[in-house]
Amino acid sequence: MAASSAVLRRWTRTPSPTTPLNVGNSIGGEHETDRGVLLTWRDVLVTAADEKGRHKLILDRITGCARPRQVLALMGASGSGKTTLLDTLSGRLGVDMNGTGDILINGRRKRLSYGTSAYVTQENTLMTTLTVREAIHYSAQLQLPGSMPLAKKLARADRAIREMGLGAVASSRIGGRVCKGISGGERKRVSICMELLASPGMLFLDEPTSGLDSAAAYHVMAHIAWLARTTGTTVVAAVHQPSTEVFDLFNGLCLLANGRMVYFGSTPEAAELLARMARPGVKGLEQRKGGWRGLAWSTRIVAAKHGKEAAGGRFPGRAGR
């Protein structure tokens, strides 16, 4: 009970007044690491205006950080704000949205520029008639600076192919609906591979495992976690219904419910803490205005993880709302 109250207090405290979305103003204590980027955000509040000019609250004072060599998972039920948070952190917030709060890169005001960050969206937009190698070589020639010699661009492409474990299918046609090509998981890795060409320090992934079976999802996420560890890349991924094995690959968890943050911390800690919150007799979670569904859902994640609630080996997401 004490632990659950502490968590709720932590995230329901009165925030400091928000300022327009700043990329900067050092919070202090952060240091630059090799390729990775330390991204911190504080009191991020996002609203969207409707056609009548009314403002809808999408994200309510979210605070957290993503570290080099680690994978931070953004989780929460559909509509909880995962994509909006990814868009905000990566500087892709739509023009119809307004954000306030602080976003710092290595503790300083700095925009995420070319080569610093990459964003892989949910959709695969790949040229289906090309082989994996052709597509990635082509992308390298288009993306990498004109001053870079061709041989270096192709070597970079080949390294990215290896990093994403695509060597075995490099000569296979990507394919699509009409002509069958590589698998869904491999297609996803090709999309990620293309974004890795510029060796970004920060990788944002929106639902990298959507549409994949659990084995393919694990394969994709395991490569991403390996990449983060070995290259120092900082990864933030919005994920929906991860399997237990995929969940265990994450270093940190930012759990959202109805635009609010209900947990931020390490994944082992999340498992332990939420398990305690899920214990029968722990009251109070349901009473929080607007948070009942999300919080109830979050407790079921851990219940599932601890084998108390089997959901076909998956944590309940939409179905659990």
Ligand X SMILES: Nc1ncnc2c1ncn2[C@@H]1O[C@H](COP(=O)(O)OP(=O)(O)OP(=O)(O)O)[C@@H](O)[C@H]1O
Give the binding site for ligand X (CB under 6 A): 48, 56, 58, 76, 78-84, 94, 96-97, 238, 240
* Alpha helices for the chain (secondary structure H): 2-12, 82-89, 132-143, 150-163, 184-196, 214-231, 244-247, 267-277, 292-305
Q: Which residue's CB is nearer to ligand X, number 44 or number 197?
A: 44
Q: Which residue's CB is nearer to ligand X, number 57 or number 222?
A: 57
**CB-based contact 220:71 (threshold 8 Å):** no
Q: How far is the CB of 87 from ligand X (least distance, A)?
A: 8
Q: How far is the CB of 50 from ligand X (least distance, A)?
A: 7
234 forms bridges with which residues in the sheet?
202
Q: How far is the CB of 289 from ligand X (least distance, A)?
A: 17
Concatenated DSSP letters for 191-222?
Answer: HHHHHHTT--SEEEEESTTTT--HHHHHHHHH
100 forms bridges with which residues in the sheet?
20, 45
Report d(CA 319, CA 241) in Å as an integer.
Answer: 10
**CB-based contact 72:162 (threshold 8 Å):** no
Count of C-beta atoms within a 10 Å radius of residue 130: 18
| HSE-CB for 52 with a 13 A CA cutoff | 2
Tokens of 227: 């990449």
Q: Which residue's CB is nearer to ligand X, number 140 or number 270?
A: 270
Q: Which residue's CB is nearer to ligand X, number 200 or number 259?
A: 259
Q: For the chain, how far is it from start to end, CA to CA, in angstroms?
A: 23
Q: How far is the CB of 219 from ligand X (least distance, A)?
A: 22
Q: How far is CA 68 from the centre of its chain?
A: 14
User: C-alpha distances in angstroms, 131 versus 176, 194, 220?
Assistant: 12, 13, 19
Q: How far is the CB of 318 from ligand X (least distance, A)?
A: 8
Q: Which residue's CB is nearer to ligand X, number 107 or number 291?
A: 291
Q: How far is the CB of 54 from ligand X (least distance, A)?
A: 10
Q: How far is the CB of 109 from ligand X (least distance, A)?
A: 25
Q: Which residue's CB is nearer to ligand X, number 80 or number 234?
A: 80
Q: Which residue's CB is nearer to ligand X, number 79 or number 232?
A: 79
Q: Which residue's CB is nearer to ligand X, number 97 or number 296?
A: 97
Q: How far is CA 124 from the centre of its chain?
A: 17
Work out whether strand 117-120 and strand 97-105 pair parallel, antiparallel, or are unpaired. Answer: unpaired
Q: How far is the CB of 203 from ligand X (least distance, A)?
A: 17
Rounded to the nearest 10 degrees, how much is the dihedral formed by the CA atoms of 155, 158, 162, 165? 160
